[in-house]
Amino acid sequence: MDMIAYYRQLVGFKITGFRMEADEFGADPFPTFTVQALDGETLDVTLSRDPEGNGGGFAFIAPRHIERLTIAIVAGFSPRHAP
């Protein structure tokens, strides 16, 4: 399975709801997000510990860090002639 394409299908969706769903076998509950596309399509995104659904999973949620490059302009400097 192309995992990049699998997850990329969620791009553009908006999270509209959240709930914890019980596991029918007594394992950890499943964190479940309801998401909606601009065209109204609605999906459930469920976090599982593995592809077989053997209990609820965990999501790492963190602020996105964007590294900014500071470029110093130096008179006479040319990247083509840099060592």
Q: pLDDT by residue (tens digit) across 51-78?
A: 999 999 999 888 887 776 666 655 555 5
CB 57 within 8 A of CB 47: yes
pLDDT over 90 for what percent of the chain? 64
Residue 65 per-residue DSSP state: P
Query: What total number of domains does the chain contain?
Result: 1
Mean per-residue pLDDT over the chain, rounded: 86
Q: What range does the domain containing 36 cover?
A: 3-81
Residue 61's pLDDT is 87
CB 49 within 8 A of CB 28: yes
Sort strands 14-21 and 30-36 into parallel, antiparallel or unpaired: antiparallel
Nearest to 43 by CA among 11, 82, 80, 4: 11
